[in-house]
């Protein structure tokens, strides 16, 4: 099967992990398959009065350890295999962080950039209605993902609440603050990537101040990671996004760049005489990956680092801000070259951790302070990092396999304790 099939990649890593830890065959077989999958079709009236039929998915990969948790993405290239893979990764991610969730994921095949706000609202409400049998604050709690946001979650919460007959803020996370969201959720994944990057630098005896960092993707994860790392003294020497890349060996002015991009402007009209702009994304990513830097943060989409470009990477540390950015063949090349790779199920877990915090607050109707959220996030992620590092040293395996061992061990124990029904 092709290297780029994300679900097969996830299964291959699971199989590798099962062999290393001598996982019980029956539990291994259980974990290779999602527990519940739903495909839905949604006829939506567009603004021009035509009707488009959209296809969507919701996959609950494993809910042995608690209610399912996972985002909803809107993207023209969404596939069932991709959603299954991301649901599996969310299962491992929650277990690595030791939060009481199973893993899920949702996706709708659409191009949100070509849809009006009204069309997106109608699509979101219909999608919510179609997956209604699966979701609920004690069953499956959606959250934002690629091309979905706080507004999407507000529509989902409202639709579920209207059909239930009362307000249910705990049915989704990533909501606006005004309807039960939490401070810190919008930047949680980027904040978590920052905590993990700092710990990875410390572990490798590399100073944080002056560390050269390059980031692929300047969206909800990459932009916040750039902001927080720059505040700690890191030099962000290159960033790429859909409209190209910006480079400066002395460090980009991230504060100015953030102000620029958050006003809906693009890299192309960013005024900085010391920054080099490359409009071609393919060329920009190639240049980014080949930079002589301390840390590379792939924070865009899956399958970005492959066997074709892994040998070009000069970073000493890779912190995976995106889900599945590195293919298995690329992983082998990078590990052989001695590059320290912090895997996605650990590195980008900040989003789901703070989603868990938001869910707890919604259930209790009790809001935490921003400091409480960030301190708890830091402590939980750094504990997970140390646990993964301990397995890495003890079992003499790469960090990805170590993280999988930690996750699978916790899920397997839960399966053993609960037993099989009937």
Instruction: Report, as residue numbers or ranges, the catalytic residues.
Output: 105
User: Which residues have a Cβ under 8 Å from the Cβ of 150 and sit 6 or more positions away?
Assistant: 144, 174, 175, 176, 181, 186
Beta strands 36-45 and 51-62 are antiparallel
For 337, counting Cβ atoms within 10 Å of its Cβ (0-12 exposed, 13-18 middle, 19+ buried), the class is exposed
- Separation between Cα atoms, residue 339 and residue 315, nearest integer Å: 7
CA angle 147, 152, 154 (to 5 degrees): 155
Owner of token pair 């959606």: 142
Neighbours of 50 (CB within 10 A): 8
Distance (Å, whole) CA 166 – CA 76: 34
Residue 413: partners with Cβ closer than 8 Å, 6 or more residues away: none
Q: How far apart are CA 400 and CA 414, in angstroms?
A: 21
CA–CA dist 297, 320 (Å, integer)? 6
From residue 349, alpha-carbon distances to 129, 148, 346, 385 in Å are 28, 18, 5, 11
Asked if 146 and 77 count as a contact pair (C-beta separation under 8 A), the reply is no
Rounded to an integer, what distance in angstroms lies between the CA atom of residue 342 and that of residue 356? 22
CA distance 96 to 344: 11
Our CA angle for 354, 357, 363, nearest 5°, is 145
Q: Taking Cα atoms as reference points, which of 116, 106, 110, 100 lies closest to residue 153? A: 106
């Amino acid at each position: 099967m092709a290297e780029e099939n994300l679900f097969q990649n996830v299964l291959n890593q699971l199989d590798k992990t099962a062999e290393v830890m001598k996982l019980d065959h029956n539990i291994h077989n259980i974990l290779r398959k999602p527990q519940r999958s739903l495909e839905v079709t949604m006829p939506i009236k567009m603004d021009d009065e035509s009707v488009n039929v959209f296809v969507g998915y919701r996959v609950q990969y494993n809910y042995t350890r608690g209610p399912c948790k996972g985002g909803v993405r809107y993207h023209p290239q969404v596939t069932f295999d991709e959603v299954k893979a991301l649901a599996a990764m969310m299962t491992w991610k929650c277990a690595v962080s030791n939060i009481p969730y199973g893993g899920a994921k949702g996706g709708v095949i659409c191009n949100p950039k070509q849809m009006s706000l009204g069309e997106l609202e109608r699509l979101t409400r219909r999608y919510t209605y179609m997956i209604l049998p699966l979701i609920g604050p004690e069953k499956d709690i959606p959250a934002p993902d690629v091309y979905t946001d706080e507004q999407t979650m507000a529509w989902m919460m409202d639709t579920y609440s209207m059909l239930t007959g009362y307000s249910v803020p705990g049915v989704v996370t990533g909501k606006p603050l005004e309807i039960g969201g939490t401070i810190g959720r919008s930047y949680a994944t980027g904040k978590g990537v920052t905590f993990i990057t700092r710990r990875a630098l410390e572990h490798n005896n590399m100073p944080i101040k002056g560390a050269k960092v390059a980031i692929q993707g300047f969206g909800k994860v990459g932009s916040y990671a750039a902001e927080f790392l720059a505040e700690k003294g890191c030099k962000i020497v290159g960033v790429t996004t859909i409209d190209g890349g910006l480079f400066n060996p002395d460090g980009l002015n991230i504060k100015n760049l953030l102000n620029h991009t958050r006003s809906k402007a693009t890299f192309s009209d960013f005024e900085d005489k010391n920054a080099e702009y490359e409009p071609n994304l393919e060329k920009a990513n190639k240049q980014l990956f080949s930079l002589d830097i301390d840390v590379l943060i792939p924070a865009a989409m899956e399958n970005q680092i492959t066997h074709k470009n892994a040998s070009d990477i000069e970073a000493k540390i890779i912190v995976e801000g995106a889900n599945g950015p590195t293919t298995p063949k690329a992983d082998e090349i990078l590990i052989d070259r001695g590059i320290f790779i912090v895997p996605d199920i650990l590195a980008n877990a900040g989003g789901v951790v703070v989603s868990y915090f938001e869910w707890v607050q919604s259930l209790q109707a009790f809001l935490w302070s921003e400091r409480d959220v960030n301190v708890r996030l830091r402590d939980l992620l750094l504990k997970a990092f140390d646990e993964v590092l301990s397995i890495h040293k003890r079992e003499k395996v790469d960090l990805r396999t170590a993280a999988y061992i930690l996750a699978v061990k916790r899920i397997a124990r839960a399966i053993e304790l609960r037993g099989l029904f009937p």
